[in-house]
Amino acid sequence: MSRAVVTGGCGFVGSHLVERLVARGDEVTVFDGLAPAHPVEGVRYVTGDIRNLPDLAGALGTGTEVVYHLAAVVGVDKYLSSPLDVVDVNFLGTRNVLELAHRAGARVVLSSTSEVFGKNPAVPWREDSDRVLGATSAARWSYSTSKALAEHLTFAFAAHHGLDARIIRYFNVFGPRQRPAYIVSRSVHRALNRQPMVVYDRGVQTRCFTYIDDAIDGTILAATHPAAAGESFNIGSMTETTVGEVVRLIAELTGAPEPRTEVDTAVRVGPAYEDLSRRVPDATKAREVLGWTCETTLRDGLIKTIEWARASQWWLDLPDSGVA
């Protein structure tokens, strides 16, 4: 058993992580800006602003052994509507987490993102692949930049303060409880609500979809494996699938009609957003160092997600928060 703090523990990935940590016997404190919609028995919940050091200190103090730092402002809708919040929370929040973890002598697992690689065309991306970004005037890149800065802070604390820190980069994680703002969650949400699914830019862009259970496996392995200290890991499926194929598969599995809404992001959203043609990880390092592989196929993960969604009216009643 370990004493763990999970920032952002009320969110999609965070809530799944909390459940797994409790199941394995950890003593868990959650720090989040929102109160839990579905609290887990035995978990201590602290509500506050991660940008406020005293707020966070109420959750992360002496006795903390490991911090899973998942708190972030994420989602294309957020990048476009609240880019300042994206930068402040992802950068200042991470600085506060690292400072308090250093004081407590706790190790840190920073959740980062495939977005840090930007639009580098040389896929698959290794952990040390170059970052290729668009103009700073495009709000789209605020998330990528803020997460990269969070990684720089984490590596700096490790190098200069001896902090035991590990970084994981998630690639298109999906599954139960994800808000309907992403490719899979929004398509399932619309299909089950009998609304046309939305396909951006003809659906020819590719992604590698990672089921939530596999992402949590990788997260805990990164936190507990001694060889992970000071390292970063791509946590993602290496199976490349077009967005159009995903939408068609969701239609098949839900029995939804094929008609869909086509959106040209260049026309509908403008220069603030730039879609990526391919996003593919090289997860070899995670396999060789952590012993982690993505076990769940896209189809099996979708079946589990759809089964859960059908039984979760509260989720089906959520507003569609996707872009355009």
* pLDDT class of 78 with cuts at 50, 70, 90: confident
- Is 323 inside a domain boundary? no
The 10s digit of each residue's pLDDT in 96-124 is 999 999 999 999 999 999 999 999 999 99
- Is 116 inside a domain boundary? yes
- Is 186 inside a domain boundary? no
Residue 247 has pLDDT above 70, yes or no: yes
pLDDT value for 321: 83
Domain that holds residue 100: 3-174+211-236+280-295
Distance CA 189, CA 195 (A): 8
**E runs forming strands in the chain:** 3-7, 27-32, 44-47, 66-69, 107-113, 165-170, 173-174, 197-200, 206-207, 210-211, 232-235, 241-242, 260-263
Q: Averaged over 6-20, what is the pLDDT?
A: 98
Which SS3 state, helix, strand or coil, does residue 71 take? coil
What is the CATH classification number for the domain harbouring 227?
A: 3.40.50.720
Distance CA 108, CA 119 (A): 28
* Nearest residue to 318 via CA among 212, 211, 177: 177
- Name the residues annotated as catalytic: 143
* pLDDT class of 80 with cuts at 50, 70, 90: confident
- Is 232 inside a domain boundary? yes
Residue 55 has pLDDT above 70, yes or no: yes
Contact 278, 242 (CB under 8 A): no
| Averaged pLDDT of the chain | 94
The 10s digit of each residue's pLDDT in 193-226 is 999 999 988 889 999 999 999 999 999 999 999 9
The 10s digit of each residue's pLDDT in 254-296 is 999 876 788 877 777 777 677 788 999 999 999 999 999 999 9
- Is 245 inside a domain boundary? no
The 10s digit of each residue's pLDDT in 152-202 is 999 999 999 999 999 999 999 999 999 999 999 999 999 999 999 999 888
- Is 251 inside a domain boundary? no
Residues 6+ apart with CB under 8 A from 7: 14, 30, 31, 32, 50, 56, 59, 67, 68, 69, 70, 71, 93, 97
Q: Which residue shows structure tokens 């903390």?
A: 64
Distance CA 125, CA 137 (A): 25
- Is 255 inside a domain boundary? no
Return the structure tokens found at 174.
């999906």
Residue 324 has pLDDT above 70, yes or no: no
- Is 160 inside a domain boundary? yes
- Containing 86, the helix (H) or strand (E) segment is helix 83-87
Number of domains making up the chain: 1
Phi, psi of 240 (to 5 degrees): -90, 130
